[in-house]
């Protein structure tokens, strides 16, 4: 199945556009198919990573009043799908901020590569460098099909986490068949879907 799945707290079903699916968290032997920490878990890394402006990031310093939309992407240097997604989100950052959400991107690229991307595209969200793959490993999203020594070693499976102001995961979006489809990384959710999922996950009734 090549549907981009949105996993939300409770049994909320995302049906914003054709081809989307929702599923419950797997258990037992199938749990590895649930990418990253479970809904309701606190983030396993505080995002203390270098930023393109030379500073050091932290969750506390980046989180918005209502929470954070946290994007893990493969590369903003050489991955065209990641770059296109980043540009799309950047163009609509105000819609996240209106909801009280900060927008943060993380990739394994060195700061210099990220800074070049920011300059070329006028990218506005925070962009963090996880060159040592500390956060990527902590979140359990390392793409293990790439081995040390290859250019792509260290990239994560693309995933988006919607976090509340305390760093608790309220929703996550990723390609359901990431383990069996080596082209699944090409599919990225529309910004409208991400915003819809964030609204649902962070609403008082969620």
Q: What is the pLDDT of residues 94-152, one digit of tens each?
A: 999 999 999 999 999 999 999 999 999 999 999 999 999 999 999 999 998 888 888 88
CB of 99 within 8 A of CB of 171? no
- pLDDT tens for 142-185 read 998 888 888 889 999 999 999 999 999 999 998 765 555 566 66
Dihedral pair phi/psi, residue 56, rounded to 5°: -110, 130
CATH of the domain at 74: 3.40.30.10
Give dist(CA 103, CA 131) in Å, integer.
20
pTM score, whole prediction: 0.83
Q: So what's the pLDDT on residue 177?
A: 53
Strand ranges, E, within the chain: 4-8, 67-72, 101-107, 126-129, 159-164, 169-175
CB of 129 within 8 A of CB of 52? yes
The count of domains in the chain is: 1
The boundaries of the domain holding residue 164 are 4-202
């Amino acid at each position: 199945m090549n549907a981009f799945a949105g996993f939300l707290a409770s049994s909320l079903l995302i049906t914003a556009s054709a081809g989307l699916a929702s599923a419950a968290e797997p258990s037992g032997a199938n749990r590895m198919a649930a990418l990253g920490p479970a809904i309701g878990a606190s983030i396993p890394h505080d995002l203390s990573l270098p930023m393109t402006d030379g500073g050091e990031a932290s969750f506390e310093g980046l989180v918005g009043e209502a929470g954070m939309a946290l994007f893990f992407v493969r590369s903003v240097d050489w991955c065209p799908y990641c770059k296109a997604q980043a540009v799309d989100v950047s163009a609509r950052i105000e819609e996240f901020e209106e909801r009280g959400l900060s927008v943060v991107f993380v990739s394994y690229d060195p700061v210099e590569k990220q800074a070049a991307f920011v300059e070329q595209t006028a990218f506005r969200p925070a962009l963090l460098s996880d060159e040592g793959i500390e956060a990527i490993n902590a979140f359990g999203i390392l793409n293990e099909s790439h081995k040390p020594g290859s250019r792509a070693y260290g990239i994560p499976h693309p995933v988006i986490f919607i976090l509340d102001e305390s760093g608790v995961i309220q929703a996550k979006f990723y390609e359901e068949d990431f383990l069996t489809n080596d082209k699944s990384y090409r599919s990225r959710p529309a910004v409208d879907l991400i915003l819809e999922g964030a609204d649902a996950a962070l609403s008082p009734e969620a």
